[in-house]
């Protein structure tokens, strides 16, 4: 239930923040709550993925995308995610979640997310996501044009491009 509360408060807060473009970085301040902990009293490894949703909600809202999602009844979906954990976070520690879209192809948006505390990387993840409408997946071009943004992607970072190629190989076999 606490995640529902966090989604609503993130969306509410994002509506009052300065707007962002699709390639801008969202920085979301967060705190480790008791229900975020694992048996070792650290932020649970699975919770990182749930918290990453909040970063994407903040970015989508500040880009103006949630209006289109609601009006068009589009659903944001994650097609793949990967994580790397560097340090741990303990109860009531404050940290920030940095979220940015690094590029896209015809179908997928590629998002990098970093958990930071005092200038140190705690964990990082990447997500491949899309929006689905009543009649199937929405092309990234359609979404970007709805936002008034150039639909041409910047070149994907080498690590994201390699990850995408590996995902495509895995899905074709």
Mean pLDDT by 10 residues, the chain (173 residues): 82 93 96 95 95 97 94 96 97 98 97 98 98 96 94 94 91 66
CA distance 115 to 54: 12
Pairing of the two strands 26-31 and 94-104: antiparallel
Quick one: pLDDT at residue 3? Answer: 81
Separation of alpha carbons 78 and 86, rounded Å: 23
**pLDDT, position 28:** 97
Residues of the domain holding 45:
2-172
Q: Taking Cα atoms as reference points, which of 75, 79, 77, 27 lies closest to residue 55?
A: 27
The pTM for the full model equals: 0.93
Give, in order, the Cα–Cα distances in Å from 166 to each of 86, 161, 171.
23, 9, 9
For residue 76, what is the domain's CATH number?
3.10.129.10
Domain count, the chain: 1
């Amino acid at each position: 239930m606490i995640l529902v509360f966090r989604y609503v408060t993130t969306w509410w807060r994002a509506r009052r923040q300065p707007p962002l473009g699709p390639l801008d970085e969202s920085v979301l301040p967060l705190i480790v709550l008791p229900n975020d902990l694992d048996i070792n009293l650290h932020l649970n490894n699975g919770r990182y993925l749930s918290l990453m949703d909040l970063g994407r909600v903040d970015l989508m809202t500040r880009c103006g995308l949630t209006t289109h999602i609601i009006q068009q009844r589009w659903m944001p979906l994650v097609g793949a995610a990967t994580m790397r954990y560097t340090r741990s976070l303990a109860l009531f520690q404050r940290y920030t979640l940095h979220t940015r879209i690094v590029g896209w192809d015809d179908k997928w948006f590629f998002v990098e997310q970093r958990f930071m505390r005092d200038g140190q990387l705690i964990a990082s993840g990447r997500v491949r996501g899309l929006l689905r409408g009543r009649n199937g997946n929405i092309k990234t071009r359609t979404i970007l044009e709805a936002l008034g943004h150039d639909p041409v992607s910047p070149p994907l970072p080498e690590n994201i491009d390699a990850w995408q190629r590996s995902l495509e190989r895995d899905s074709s076999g």
